[in-house]
Chains A and B, each alone.
Chain A
Amino acid sequence: MEPLLRVKDLHKHYKDGRYTVHAVNGVNFDIFPGEAVGLVGESGCGKSTTARCILMLEQPTHGKIIFKNQDLAAMSEHPLRSWRRFFQIVFQDPNESLNPRFNVKRTLKEPLFLHGLYQDSHQLGELMKRVTLEIEHLERYPHQLSGGQKQRVGIARAISTSPDFVVLDEPTSSLDMSLRIHILSLLRRLQREMNMAYLFISHDLSTVHNLCNRVLVMYLGRIIEMGTSEDVFNNPQHIYTRALLSAIPIPDPAIKRKRILLQGETPNSRDIEVGCSLQKRCPYVRQECSFPVPYTDLGKRHLVACVLAGSEIINGS
């Protein structure tokens, strides 16, 4: 199968005074039609910046965004506009992404009009049904909806143009746990019904494990491990992934785990250095780590940028 999206050597740098922030620093991955890919990592590692570049909400500093065999990064504004119906985004905070002065009807109509896809109000009713909202809700304004309902409106807006690809940037982070699971099951149902591919961004690894087929683990602007959910969650091979997973508390008092504690805080993405970006915090650091670390392929495209990947040191003991 051909990938739907190929991201090639993506960089995004920002100027911050006399520093350069390397928010995204050489990222490569593919997304295939209909699959859900998780993008995880700690705050500031570059997840949202990656998403904004892929969707061309920002011009990448360098790199190719090949969507259905077209390089979006090289496209001019006019043709890009007509391509936008094929890729959409849902944001974390529906309060920020929904216009408080628009009722639901107007919010949903807008993208349809923009792409010349609006037929009749029946279409809006169908859309509401899809995301399990009532027709009456069409007349409501954001302040008259609960958090979960607002997030469903955000989802309805994103899927209205029947996109092939949707970025979900922390769509459930602002929701309570009993709601989170419903939005996830809704997202999964929609994905299957409409055969959409997802890039699901989250720092909540439990959510990603439950929704995604594949996972990309990002640290300081780079993807340091990627593979199937099974491989990454059950057999993580980068020290950072292992530390991250071991830090997540498990709601089961019967489970006692060994925790890998990283030293210090997440460094800033302007202090980039040659070699593994984890070297200052890694309890296993060695000399090779200060040279560029290529990916080791452990099979089934399980790629790990750690000199210890697959070694005894990680897997023994």
Chain B
Amino acid sequence: MSAPIIRVEELTVSLNTDDHQRNIIDSISFDMFPKEIMGLVGESGSGKTMTALSIMQLLPKTIKICGGSIWYEDKDLLKMTSREIRTIRGNKIAMIFQNPRMALNPLMRVGDQIARAVCLHCEVSSEKSKSMAVELMSQVGIPDAESRARSYPHQLSGGMAQRVLIAMMLACKPKLLIADEPTTGLDVTIQAQIFKLIKEIQSEIGVAVLLITHDFGVVSEVCDRVGVMYAGQIMEISSVIDVFTNPKHPYTQRLLKSILRVDRKSDLDTNKALSPISAVFDSPGCRFASQCDCVRPECLWERPKIYTDSPGHSVYCFNYSRDNK
């Protein structure tokens, strides 16, 4: 297997308020390989966005990285100067967001915004960058690209605005694209178009994609591998096939049981409700312990060690790691 393009090692991120510090990301580790699509799933508040923003070094002011490393091609992003970061962010690593309109400048025509991205990344005249912008727009499936290039962001639908962001991303030919719930709020028929586009681009330019979602349907159809997060911890990482056919972690198993499918009826009365994630952040052990059916005494005060079930399938749970010692 080729070397990972990004390596997150024991990343810990904390939110400091007046009276206490809370690790909203608690020592997570994962690798991403070139050209793969890796999903990051988990319920609201589990830390998916903060993981992405840590890689981008775009965390809000109140939130600080307080441990770990993020390796990009042998360099630790966390030890770089802000100028060095800028050569990587938006260049080698790009991100698209849940609300594409917010990421665009509301006062500037979208064609000009793409052209500016082109100028930043390729050495071309501004004249040339404008025609390249229109080309990129039709490449991402925007009809009438020439006239749409003159639109302002508020004149575009959510789906079109997301295509514009994808076109800007294409201008810089990144090695890693982070997509944070890029279709939330869009209709499913538009969602299907956007994911088709992301997959096409991914295979064309060979970019790796970290796709954040809470939809296991999307994981199944779009991703190669997936990491399952709960309350700031990664619980399980595996291939997509394994997560559905051989889920190991009690949380993953619970989550999979709560999925409703459109192609068949499920039993609605099977699961107990989980408590809100915010209630479990201060536990020193496994953050799923208070809701886990397989809980052991050590789960409450010690962090589970990694257990490798098979190559590429890791689980953080004492039910397995105990036998592994």
Contact = CB atoms under 8 A, between A and B. Distances in A.
Interface of A: 42-43, 146-148, 176-182, 184-185, 188, 203, 205-207, 209-211, 233, 243-245, 247-253, 255, 259, 261-262, 264-266
A175 to B, nearest CB: 9
Lowest 5 A-B CB distances belong to which pairs?
Answer: A249-B217, A251-B216, A185-B268, A176-B43, A42-B187
A181 B271 contact: yes
Contact of A178 (B160, B266, B271): B271
Contacts of B196: 261
Contact of A181 (B44, B220, B268): B268
B57 interface: no
Contact of B189 (A184, A206, A251, A262): A262
A177 B259 contact: yes
Contacts of B221: 249-250
A205 B187 contact: no
A212 B284 CA distance: 43
A250 B189 contact: no
Given A177-B258, A178-B271, A181-B258, A248 B217 contact: yes
Given A209-B261, A249-B217, 9 more contacts: A177-B214, A206-B261, A211-B268, A247-B188, A253-B240, A255-B263, A265-B157, A265-B160, A266-B187
Given A177-B255, A179-B274, A181-B268, A251 B188 contact: no
B104 interface: no
Q: Name the residue among B143, B196, B265 with the largest chain A CB count within 10 angstroms.
A: B265
Contacts, number: 119
A264 B193 CA distance: 9
B269 interface: yes
A247 B191 contact: yes
A264 B143 contact: yes
B261 A250 contact: yes
Interface string B15-48: 0000000000000000000000000000110000
B43 A210 contact: no
B260 interface: yes
A243 B265 CA distance: 20
B265 A210 contact: yes
B269 A185 contact: yes
Contacts of B190: 265-266
Nearest to A188: B268
Interface of B: 43-44, 143, 157, 159-160, 187-193, 195-196, 214-222, 240-241, 244-245, 254-256, 258-266, 268-271, 273-276
B268 A244 contact: no
Given A178-B274, A206-B260, A243 B220 contact: no
23 contacts: A42-B187, A147-B276, A148-B276, A177-B214, A177-B260, A181-B268, A184-B268, A206-B261, A209-B262, A243-B189, A247-B189, A247-B191, A249-B195, A249-B221, A250-B220, A251-B244, A251-B259, A252-B220, A252-B244, A253-B241, A261-B189, A261-B193, A266-B190
Looking at chain A's contact residues, the main secondary structure is helix
Contacts of A247: 188-189, 191-192
Contacts of A251: 215-217, 219-220, 244, 256, 259, 261
A261 B193 CA distance: 8
Contacts of A42: 187-189
Q: Name the residue among A182, A207, A251 with the largest chain B CB count within 10 angstroms.
A: A251
A42 B191 CA distance: 12
Nearest to A229: B265
A268 to B, nearest CB: 10
A210 B254 contact: no
Contacts of A211: 268
Contact of A210 (B195, B244, B255, B268): B268
B244 A181 contact: no
A178 B193 CA distance: 27
Contacts of B159: 265
Contacts of B261: 206, 209, 250-252
A244 B189 contact: yes
Contacts of B266: 181, 210
A19 B108 CA distance: 27
Contacts of A255: 263
Contacts of B264: 209
